């Protein structure tokens, strides 16, 4: 993690599609809110500027009080969240199609169905909070500020220079790292948390419990989030976990189960947990959600009417991600060190093969 | 304990094996499926487990086996590699033939401690009271198509460093371990590979003959540890040149070990550097 914010990360080959991203200190959200309102002008929507909704209460573990069940939000925010969720859904549909058309190679884990998790959590975080997740990362990458072209070009392995990540890390068993990142935030005296995401499948890895112990021992501001979509790879939770109440599995780490299909519930739970984690140390959220992909490769977009503008925006990004030139071989050796000397070279397969590195 | 690394992308047909009796041409995956099928049918203690093996596994290696032998003998495990291997060690110690699948070799590292410190030393530390020789861990290695991170590495060298493990890159239940096979005879240079590289080297043999008029001898190493020094050495003495191809990284790999052994004992290895420049990924 030695990348300076000013550096442009050249998107690496489809390799980096797969796994976790730590995306911190990103540029501001790429979608201007005013644009959304503009896009919806002329349609017969409510003009109420703010509304309050009741959400389901969370199941609690070692907590006396949970998040509010009454959640208010402004019209602008509501439209913004809706737009984000629609975009993620459409992006994943297109990503699925690109995969089927072999523009995306390797593996492709889609987020369709889980949009409320990333959009809801991001809504309660700031750009200085850290997020680390695993391979089902497209939605998260987008809401953290990477453009549509950025995400899709990363998947297709094209040379679109749009991703401005200050930190990018790629891991599968990223959970203990989240505890480490949270420790760093605390150590640096920052008012921020590290949201550490994993799935119900990874919940059975021993490293998870090691991470819980470290995090609680040192009371670091970590929010562990189990995105429980019902299946770890192809095995259902009931067949893989002796205890499927994932929010209780932190033992000494308190937790809650939130309706992961309700963006407002997720947002409120995240707000509550950030506050809690900064004061008391780690906390666990189980977001009960569901993924449509894997269920079927047929177009999940048919379940939801996607806004024409969103559709157009995603199509344009996909076109760019398809048509941009492929990353050249020379680029494979770039972006290893920050500001390397002008004549810096990196060894290839053999010591006799040296490549220049910028 | 056996560590069987098969090649995830090896859907091509295996080289023909010289066996007596009826033969069928199979892909490597089909051959593994067939081998497990035979073990399960002949050995009532045999069980197969791993991530998503019940429906056939991501490479279809265990296809139809659950239907044939039941859910109590072919079953899914949680996504817990350390658990899978350690469970297998326990199972094997108790007398069961256990076949543990690690879905990709790159996933095996949470189980590394169990393999290195528990499994490989079980017989030794119990004074031969127990052993887990009935455990086979299977894992696909190498570059699966565009698999990228967590799906493409060739970590076989890590395990070749561990006494107590026999490691086979491809395998058939009928084949003797630690015995390499000369697939194509030649005079000018010895080519050694295992796994997918054997297919690559076959193409190289043809190309070298056509374009350079070079006669290559091709050896499939088959077992990485212990490897068949005699077969390779005989060939190198004949040809005077050795080229080893592997997908794994250059440094301290099986390639360097094998080539240095040859250099040391037989003083012939002018092809060594060529190999590394061209073939190490």
Q: ipTM value of the model?
A: 0.70
pLDDT of residue A191: 97
Q: CATH number of the domain that B243 lies in?
A: 3.40.50.920
Residues 212-271 on B with a CB inside 8 Å of A are: 250
Which of A102, A203, A233, A294 to substitute to test the interface with B, most B CBs within 10 Å?
A233
Please indicate, yes or no, if residue B175 is contained in any of the structural domains: no
Q: Evaluate whether A198 touches A224 at the Cβ level (below 8 Å).
A: yes
CB contact under 8 A, A206 and B80: yes
Please indicate, yes or no, if residue B74 is contained in any of the structural domains: yes
Q: What tokens were used for A162?
A: 């749009």
Q: CATH number of the domain that B108 lies in?
A: 3.40.50.970
Instruction: Give the residue from A40, A127, A41, A36 showing the smallest Cα distance to A84.
Output: A36
* CB atoms closer than 10 angstroms to residue A99: 19
- In DSSP terms, A208 is beta-bridged to none
Same domain, yes or no: B160 and B202: no
Of A5-14, A47-56, A264-273, A316-325, the one with minimum mean pLDDT is: A5-14
Same domain, yes or no: B95 and B208: no
Please indicate, yes or no, if residue B71 is contained in any of the structural domains: yes
Is residue B118 part of the annotated active site? The answer reads: no
Of A33-37, A242-246, B9-13, B191-195, the one with minimum mean pLDDT is: B9-13
Alpha-carbon gap, residue A101 to A5, rounded angstroms: 35
Instruction: Give the residue from B146, B64, B158 showing the smallest Cα distance to B102.
Output: B158
Instruction: Give the residue from A94, A132, A136 showing the smallest Cα distance to A115.
Output: A136
User: What are the pLDDT digits (tens) for A128-153?
Assistant: 999 988 878 899 999 998 889 988 98
Q: Evaluate whether B232 touches B192 at the Cβ level (below 8 Å).
A: yes
* CB atoms closer than 10 angstroms to residue A43: 7
Please indicate, yes or no, if residue B69 is contained in any of the structural domains: yes
> Cα separations (Å) of A278 from A114, B93, B226?
26, 48, 55
Count residue pairs from A and B with Cβ separation < 8 A.
79
Q: Kindly identify which residue of chain A lies nearest to residue B80, measuring between CA atoms.
A: A205
Q: Which member of B79, B145, B280 has the closest CB to residue A232?
A: B79
Same domain, yes or no: B185 and B145: no
Q: Which member of A107, A205, A353 has the closest CB to residue B110?
A: A205
Instruction: Give chain A positions within 8 Å (CB) of B76.
Output: 234-235, 239-240
Instruction: Give chain A positions within 8 Å (CB) of B56.
Output: none
Please indicate, yes or no, if residue B81 is contained in any of the structural domains: yes
Alpha-carbon gap, residue A194 to A211, rounded angstroms: 13
Of B120, B139, B168, the residue that ends a domain is B168
CB contact under 8 A, B151 and A349: no
CB contact under 8 A, A240 and B250: no
pLDDT of residue B248: 77
pLDDT of residue A313: 94
Q: Which residues contact B182 (CB under 8 A, 6 or more apart)?
A: B217, B218, B219, B231, B235
Please indicate, yes or no, if residue B99 is contained in any of the structural domains: yes
Please indicate, yes or no, if residue B109 is contained in any of the structural domains: yes
Q: Where are the domains of chain A?
A: 14-29+64-321, 328-358
Same domain, yes or no: B133 and B259: no
Instruction: Give chain B positions within 8 Å (CB) of A170.
Output: 149
Q: What tokens were used for B62?
A: 């265990």
A232 touches chain B (CB under 8 A): yes
Same domain, yes or no: B162 and B214: no
Per-residue pLDDT of chain B (281 residues; tens, 9 = 90+): 666 655 433 333 333 344 456 777 888 889 899 999 999 999 999 999 999 999 999 889 999 999 999 999 999 999 999 999 999 999 999 999 999 999 999 999 999 999 999 999 989 888 888 999 999 999 998 877 677 778 888 888 888 888 878 776 654 445 677 889 999 999 999 999 888 889 889 999 999 999 999 999 999 998 888 888 899 989 989 998 888 888 877 666 776 666 655 544 443 344 443 333 333 22
Q: What tokens were used for A270?
A: 């995240």
pLDDT of residue A48: 87
Alpha-carbon gap, residue A353 to A332, rounded angstroms: 14
Same domain, yes or no: B37 and B131: yes
The dihedral over CA atoms of A99, B105, B280, A345, expressed in degrees to the nearest 10, equals 70
pLDDT of residue A294: 61
Same domain, yes or no: B26 and B85: yes
User: What are the pLDDT digits (tens) for B163-222?
Assistant: 878 776 654 445 677 889 999 999 999 999 888 889 889 999 999 999 999 999 999 998
- In DSSP terms, A50 is beta-bridged to A74
Percentage of chain A beyond pLDDT 90 is 51
> What's the domain range around B233?
181-279
Question: Could you tell me the pLDDT band of residue A303, with boundaries at 50, 70 and 90?
Answer: low
Q: What tokens were used for A105?
A: 């190679």
Is residue B81 part of the annotated active site? The answer reads: yes
Of B137, B168, B199, the residue that ends a domain is B168
Q: What tokens were used for A243?
A: 């205890």
Instruction: For strands B216-220 and B181-184, give the pairing.
Output: antiparallel
Alpha-carbon gap, residue B3 to B158, rounded angstroms: 11
CATH class of A14-29+64-321: alpha beta
Length, in residues, of chain A: 358
Same domain, yes or no: B216 and B264: yes
Please indicate, yes or no, if residue B173 is contained in any of the structural domains: no
Q: What is the H or E stretch that residue A337 is in?
A: none
Domain count, chain B: 2
Whole-number average pLDDT of chain A: 82
């Amino acid at each position: 993690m030695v990348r300076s914010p000013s550096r442009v990360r050249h998107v690496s080959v489809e390799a980096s599609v797969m796994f976790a991203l730590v995306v911190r200190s990103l540029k501001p959200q790429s979608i201007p809110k005013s644009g959304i309102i503009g896009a919806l002008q002329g349609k017969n929507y409510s003009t109420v500027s703010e509304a309050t909704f009741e959400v389901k209460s969370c199941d609690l573990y070692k907590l006396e009080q949970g998040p509010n069940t009454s959640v208010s939000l402004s019209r602008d925010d509501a439209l913004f969240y809706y737009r984000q969720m629609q975009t993620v859904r459409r992006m994943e549909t297109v990503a699925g199609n690109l995969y089927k058309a072999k523009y995306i190679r390797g593996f492709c884990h889609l987020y369709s169905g889980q949009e409320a998790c990333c959009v809801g959590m991001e809504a309660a975080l700031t750009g200085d909070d850290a997020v680390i997740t695993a391979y089902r990362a497209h939605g998260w990458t987008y809401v953290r500020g990477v453009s549509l072209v950025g995400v899709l070009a990363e998947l297709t392995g094209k040379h679109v220079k749009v991703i401005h990540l200050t930190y990018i890390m790629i891991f599968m068993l990223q959970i203990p790292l989240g505890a480490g990142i949270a420790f760093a935030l605390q150590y640096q005296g920052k008012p921020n948390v590290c949201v550490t995401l994993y799935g119900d499948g990874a919940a059975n890895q021993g490293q998870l419990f090691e991470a819980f112990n470290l995090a609680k021992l040192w009371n670091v501001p970590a929010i562990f989030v189990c995105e429980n979509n019902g299946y770890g790879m192809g095995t259902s939770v009931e067949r893989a976990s002796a205890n499927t109440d994932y929010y209780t599995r932190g033992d000494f780490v308190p937790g809650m189960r939130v309706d992961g299909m309700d963006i407002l519930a997720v947002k409120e739970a995240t707000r509550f947990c950030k506050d809690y984690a900064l004061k008391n140390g780690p906390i666990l959220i189980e977001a009960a959600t569901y993924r449509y992909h894997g269920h079927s490769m047929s177009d999940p977009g048919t379940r939801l009417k996607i806004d024409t503008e969103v559709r157009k925006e995603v199509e344009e990004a996909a076109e760019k991600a398809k048509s941009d030139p492929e990353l050249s071989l020379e680029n494979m050796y770039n972006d290893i060190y920050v500001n390397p000397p002008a004549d810096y070279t990196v060894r290839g397969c053999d010591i006799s093969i040296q490549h220049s590195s910028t | 304990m056996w560590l069987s690394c098969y090649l995830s992308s090896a859907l091509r047909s295996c080289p023909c094996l010289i066996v007596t009796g009826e033969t069928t041409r199979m892909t490597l995956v089909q051959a593994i499926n067939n081998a497990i099928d035979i073990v399960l049918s002949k050995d009532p203690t045999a069980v197969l487990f791993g991530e998503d093996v019940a429906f056939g596994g991501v490479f279809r290696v265990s296809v139809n086996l659950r239907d044939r032998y039941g859910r109590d003998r072919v079953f899914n495990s949680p996504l817990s590699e350390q658990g899978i291997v350690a469970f297998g060690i326990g199972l094997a110690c108790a007398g069961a033939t256990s076949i543990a699948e690690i879905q990709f070799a790159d996933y095996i590292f949470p189980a590394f401690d169990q393999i290195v410190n528990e499994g490989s030393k079980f017989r030794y530390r119990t004074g031969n009271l127990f052993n887990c020789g009935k455990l086979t861990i299977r894992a696909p290695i190498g570059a699966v198509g565009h698999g990228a991170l967590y799906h493409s590495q060739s970590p076989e060298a890590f395990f070749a460093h561990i006494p107590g493990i026999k490691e086979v890159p491809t395998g058939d239940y009928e084949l003797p371990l630690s015995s390499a096979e000369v697939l194509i005879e030649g005079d000018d240079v010895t080519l050694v590979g295992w796994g997918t590289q054997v297919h690559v080297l076959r193409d190289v043999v043809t190309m070298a003959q056509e374009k350079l008029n070079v006669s290559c001898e091709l050896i499939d190493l088959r077992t990485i540890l212990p490897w068949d020094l005699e077969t390779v050495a005989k060939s190198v003495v004949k040809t005077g040149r050795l080229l080893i191809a592997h997908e794994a990284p250059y440094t301290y790999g099986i390639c360097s070990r094998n080539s240095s052994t040859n250099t040391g004992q037989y003083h012939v290895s002018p092809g060594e550097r060529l190999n590394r420049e061209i073939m190490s990924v």
